[in-house]
């Protein structure tokens, strides 16, 4: 059986999620004991996954989704960071599944809880050296399947009760699978077979003599049920019976008992193997269900957290990569909304057909927050989730890359500017048409003339390649050079500043200015004027 809640035509790699969740739990335990294991938290993720998590500040988002559940944390992290590989079909498929989850959150949580109980119930159970003995394998598989009958019946009841409430194709496909493969009659029949495999009336087997008079073709047979009626007694008294060969073992015949046990083991070996595979299949199904539901439960947790704080969400309208769409109303930084107590200021923008957003304006005006909100919204949209906005329409991207300003290399292996160039070189090697590049004060480690020239050549080259660039900068020379050329594919934004120097944290369309109003920040922090007029001397950070 397949869950198929994340992908319509393929399975999610739930074994990766299981291992990653276990490694995360072990890592947390090791941190508490001050012993750090050699675990790569980004194993199996895109090469820029670590930069995305750091630059977009995704930790609060993942924590809000997980709610201390390691499975939800790892699955959500992987689905979001690999979202650039999604397409329109998968996005629409997941949006429909998630919309049903938002309409029926209790049912989705019941299904997830049921899957957790099964996958956690027999954690750490293994036969070890006993796996060589069919009797032990059969006993273990019987116990497992008998334990699994209860959650299977509970799953069947949930599906039978709530299936009409779900409309998404993914849910319909899942419910149909359960109804076809786990009917009440089938589960009753399975329970009867499991009782028979306990061999309450002994073991009936057959074998043939092979070369060198060795036994071969061992087969296990069902013990016929004894139904004694009047006709059976009459036939036993008067009808001829076929010859029967019998033997009895002495209570002290240990060798004979061992030989008889070996015959029994050979007969039940195939049944033990088949039953063990069936038990593994059922456990794997619940593990798969847990992994695929983890993403949607994470979305439910995130939605509830944002709703409690009074923030709105919407399901975005994704567009093909070639259309260059970007339009939204009320977009905000979800990570910031989850970590601060004051309201986060949303932004609006209509920039369809634009491949370059040049964002300038005063210091501490919300430019970095705006850039992060764009990146997070793109990841959430391509993962098939809702986005933190009242409305959001954007084209898909073939890859999302970030190049944010970093601190000096504490290992002193390279200078700050060298580090910027090295990171950009790695990004350029992975860029291809349809990608989105988010730059936050890139090349600010050098002087304005050199930094502007490097950034200008980079932007021209990658936009000609078909890459969309969202660039936050304090380089007036850079921003002005693009503004004066006036390309139709460029959109110029500026952080709003009121006349008294206050920041509204809104990003509006506007031409670049020759100052970043650093004096406002100085006056706000120290309460006095720095003695420099921005009309006379431009400032930048």
Asked, for residue 265, whether it belongs to a domain, the answer is no
Regarding whether 394 and 339 lie in a shared domain, the answer is yes
The answer to whether position 510 is within a domain reads: yes
Reported as a single tens digit per residue, the pLDDT across 430-448 is: 999 999 999 999 998 888 8
The answer to whether residues 301 and 413 belong to one domain is no
Helix (H) or strand (E) holding 503: strand 503-509
In this prediction, residue 185 has a pLDDT band, given cuts at 50, 70 and 90, of confident
Looking at 308, 339, 368, the residue that finishes a domain is 308
Residue 534, pLDDT score = 42
pLDDT of 31: 42
Are residues 70 and 92 located together in one domain of the fold?
yes
Question: Are the beta carbons of 302 and 356 closer than 8 angstroms?
Answer: no
Q: Around 464, how many Cα atoms within 13 Å sit in the side-chain half-sphere?
A: 6
Helix (H, G, I), strand (E, B) or coil at 50: helix
pLDDT grade for 301, boundaries at 50, 70 and 90:
very high
Burial of 222 (0-12, 13-18, 19+ CB in 10 A): exposed
What is the secondary structure of 397-448 as a DSSP string?
A: -S-EEEEE-----TT-SS-HHHHHHHHHHHHHHH--TT-EEEEESTTTTS-H
Query: Is residue 286 scored above 70 in pLDDT?
Result: yes
Q: Confidence class of residue 453 from pLDDT cuts 50, 70 and 90?
A: very high
pLDDT at residue 268, rounded to an integer: 65
pLDDT band at 344 (very low <50, low <70, confident <90, very high): very high
Q: Is 194 exposed, middle or buried (0-12, 13-18, 19+ CB in 10 A)?
A: middle
Asked whether residue 369 falls in the same domain as residue 513, the answer is: yes
Q: How confident is the model at residue 11 (pLDDT cuts 50, 70, 90)?
A: confident
* Position 445 in a domain: yes
- Looking at the predicted structure, is the pLDDT value of residue 368 above 90? yes
pLDDT at 237: 66
1 is written with which tokens?
């059986």
Q: Is 204 contained in some domain?
A: no
- pLDDT(39) > 50: no
CA angle 40, 42, 44 (to 5 degrees): 105
Question: Looking at residue 37, what is its pLDDT?
Answer: 37
Query: Across 43-47, 210-214, 251-255, 465-469, which has the greatest mean pLDDT?
Result: 465-469
Domain stop point among 308, 340, 358: 308
Handedness of CA 334, 336, 339, 340 (dihedral sign): negative
Q: What are phi and psi for residue 433, nearest 5 degrees?
A: -55, 135
Summarize the confidence of residues 419-430 as an average pLDDT.
92
Q: Tell which wins on pLDDT, 371 or 184.
A: 371
Compute the average pLDDT of residues 405-434: 81
Instruction: State residue 139's pLDDT score.
Output: 73
pLDDT attached to residue 1? 73
Q: How far is CA 499 from the centre of its chain?
A: 46
Q: Cα–Cα distance between 202 and 223 in angstroms, integer?
A: 8
Per the CB < 8 A criterion, the answer to whether 95 and 266 are in contact is no
Q: What local confidence, expressed as pLDDT, does residue 521 receive?
A: 57
Residue 498: the pLDDT is: 85
**What's the pLDDT score for residue 280?**
78
Q: Give the C-alpha distances (Å, rounded to integers) separating 400 from 397, 431, 433, 490.
A: 7, 9, 11, 19
| Average of per-residue pLDDT values in the chain | 81
CA gap 92, 148 in Å, rounded = 34
Region 378-396: what's the mean pLDDT? 96
In contact, 297 and 66? CB cutoff 8 Å: no
Question: Following DSSP, what letter does each residue of 117-142 receive, concatenated?
Answer: HHHHHTTT---GGGGG-HHHHHHHHH
Question: DSSP states of 325-358 as a string?
Answer: -EEEEEE--HHHHHH-SSPPPPEEEE-TT-SEEE
| CA 336/CA 355 separation, integer angstroms | 26
Identify the burial level of 448 via C-beta atoms within 10 angstroms of its C-beta, where 0-12 means exposed, 13-18 middle and 19 or more buried: middle
Same domain, 403 and 302: no
Residue 496 falls inside a structural domain: yes
Q: How many residues does the chain have?
A: 541
Tokens representing 475 are 């380089």
CATH number at residue 393: 3.40.50.300
Between the ranges 11-15, 66-70, 107-111, 270-274, where is the mean pLDDT highest?
107-111
Answer yes or no: are the C-beta atoms of 482 and 358 closer than 8 Å: yes
Overall average pLDDT of the 46-50 stretch: 86
Res. 33 pLDDT band, cuts 50 70 90: very low
Q: Which residues 6+ apart lie within 8 Å of 200 measured at CB?
A: none
Structure tokens at 85: 């590989």
Residues 417 and 302 in one domain: no
- Mean per-residue pLDDT for 91-112? 95
Which of the two residues, 526 and 377, has the higher pLDDT score? 377
Is residue 508 included in any domain, yes or no?
A: yes
Q: Which of 161-165, 268-272, 389-393 has the lowest mean pLDDT?
A: 268-272
- What is the DSSP pairing of strand 356-360 with strand 490-497? parallel
Q: Is residue 139 part of a domain?
A: no
Q: What is the pLDDT of residue 541?
A: 34
Provide the 10 A C-beta neighbour count for residue 187: 15
Across-strand partners of 366? none
- DSSP letter at 198? T
Same domain, 441 and 346: yes
Per-residue pLDDT of 313-335, as tens digits, reads 999 999 999 899 999 999 999 99
CA distances to 40, 286, 330, 454 from 115, rounded to whole Å, are 27, 5, 37, 53
Average pLDDT value for residue range 351-376: 93
468-478 pLDDT tens trace: 999 999 999 99
For residue 538, CA distances in Å to 176, 267, 455, 532, 541 come to: 67, 90, 20, 9, 10
Quick check: 199 pLDDT over 70? no
Number of helices followed by number of strands (H, E) in the chain: 17, 12
- If one compares 38 and 57, the residue with the highest pLDDT of the two is 57
Residue 501 lies in a domain: yes
Residues 22 and 119 in one domain: yes
Global pTM value: 0.81
- Which residues make beta-bridge pairs with 503? 497
Among the listed residues 292, 271, 42, the one whose alpha carbon sits nearest the alpha carbon of residue 173: 292
Give the pLDDT score at 338. Answer: 95
Domain co-membership, 487 together with 395: yes
User: What is the phi/psi pair of residue 399, to 5°?
Assistant: 180, 140
- Residue 495 pLDDT > 60, yes or no? yes
DSSP conformation class of 223: P
Average pLDDT over residues 244-270: 67
Tokens (6 digits) for 458: 């980079």
Q: 299 and 363: one domain? A: no
Confidence (pLDDT) at 533: 44
Which of the listed ranges 65-74, 211-220, 264-273 does the model predict with the highest average pLDDT?
Answer: 65-74
Mean pLDDT highest for which of 190-204, 222-236, 485-499? 485-499
Q: Are residues 356 and 466 in the same domain?
A: yes
Least confident of 114-123, 184-193, 385-394, 415-424: 184-193
**pLDDT at 72 (0 to 100):** 92
Number of other residues whose CB lies within 10 A of the CB of residue 464: 10
Same domain? For 397 and 328 the reply is yes
Please state whether 133 falls in left (phi above 0), alpha (psi between -120 and 50) or beta. beta
Task: List, in sequence order, every residue forming a beta bridge with 490; answer none if it has no partner.
Answer: 356
Please, which residues have CB within 8 angstroms of residue 453's CB and are 6 or more apart in sequence? none
Choose the final residue of a domain: 308, 343, 359: 308
Q: Distance between CA atoms of 77 and 379, rounded to whole angstroms?
A: 11
Q: Which of 108-117, 247-256, 412-421, 474-483 has the lowest mean pLDDT?
A: 247-256
* CB burial string 322-339: b at 16+ within 10 A, e below: eebbbebebbbbbbbbbe
Residue 458 CA to residue 34 CA, distance in Å, equals: 44
Domain tally for the chain?
A: 2
Q: Where residue 539 falls among pLDDT bands split at 50, 70, 90? A: very low
pLDDT at 38 over 50: no
* Residue 73 CA from chain centroid, whole number: 8
Residue 513's domain comprises 317-526
């Amino acid at each position: 059986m397949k869950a198929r809640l994340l992908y319509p035509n393929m399975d999610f790699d739930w074994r990766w999620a299981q291992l990653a969740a276990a490694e995360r739990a072990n890592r947390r335990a090791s941190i508490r004991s001050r012993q750090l294991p050699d675990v790569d938290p980004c194993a199996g993720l895109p090469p820029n996954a670590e930069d995305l998590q750091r630059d977009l500040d995704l930790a609060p988002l993942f924590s809000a989704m997980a709610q201390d559940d390691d499975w939800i944390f790892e699955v959500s992290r992987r689905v979001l960071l690999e979202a650039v590989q999604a397409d329109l079909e998968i996005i629409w498929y997941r949006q429909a599944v998630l919309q049903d989850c938002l309409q029926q959150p209790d049912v989705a949580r019941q299904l997830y809880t049921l899957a957790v109980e099964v996958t956690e119930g027999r954690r750490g159970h293994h036969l070890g050296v006993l796996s060589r003995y069919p009797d032990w394998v059969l006993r273990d598989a019987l116990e497992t399947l008998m334990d699994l009958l209860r959650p299977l019946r509970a799953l069947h009841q949930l599906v039978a009760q709530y299936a009409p409430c779900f409309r998404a194709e993914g849910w319909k496909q899942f419910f149909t699978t359960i109804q076809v493969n786990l009917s009440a009659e089938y589960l009753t029949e399975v329970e009867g077979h499991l009782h028979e495999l306990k061999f309450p009336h002994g073991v009936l087997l057959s074998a043939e003599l092979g070369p060198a008079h060795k036994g071969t073709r061992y087969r296990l047979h069902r013990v016929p049920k004894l139904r004694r009626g009047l006709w059976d007694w009459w036939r036993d008294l008067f009808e001829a019976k076929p010859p029967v060969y019998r033997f009895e073992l002495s209570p002290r015949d240990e060798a004979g008992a061992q030989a008889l046990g070996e015959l029994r083991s050979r007969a039940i070996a195939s049944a033990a193997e088949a039953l063990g595979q069936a038990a593994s299949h059922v456990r794997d199904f619940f593990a798969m269900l847990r992994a695929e539901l983890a993403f949607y439960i994470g979305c439910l947790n995130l939605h509830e957290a944002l709703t409690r704080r009074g923030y709105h969400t919407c399901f975005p309208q994704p567009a093909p990569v070639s259309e260059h769409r970007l339009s939204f109303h009320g977009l905000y930084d979800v990570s910031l909304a989850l970590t601060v107590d004051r309201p986060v200021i949303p932004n609006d923008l209509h920039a369809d057909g634009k491949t370059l957003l040049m964002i300038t304006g005063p210091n501490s005006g919300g430019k970095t927050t705006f850039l992060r909100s764009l990146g997070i919204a793109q990841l959430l949209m391509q993962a098939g989730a809702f986005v933190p906005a009242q409305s959001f329409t954007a084209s898909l991207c073939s890859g999302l890359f970030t190049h944010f300003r970093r601190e000096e290399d504490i290992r002193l292996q390279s200078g700050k500017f060298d580090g910027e160039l090295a990171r950009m070189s790695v990004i350029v090697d992975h860029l291809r048409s349809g990608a989105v590049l988010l730059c936050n004060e890139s090349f600010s480690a050098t002087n304005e003339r050199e930094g502007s020239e490097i950034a200008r050549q980079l932007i021209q080259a990658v936009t000609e390649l078909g890459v969309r660039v969202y660039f936050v900068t304090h380089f007036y020379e850079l921003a002005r050079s693009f503004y004066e050329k006036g390309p139709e594919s460029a959109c110029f934004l500026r952080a709003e500043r009121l006349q008294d120097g206050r920041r509204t944290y809104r990003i509006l369309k506007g031409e670049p200015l020759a100052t970043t109003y650093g004096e406002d920040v100085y006056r706000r922090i120290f309460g006095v004027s720095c003695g420099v007029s921005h009309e006379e001397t431009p400032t930048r950070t």
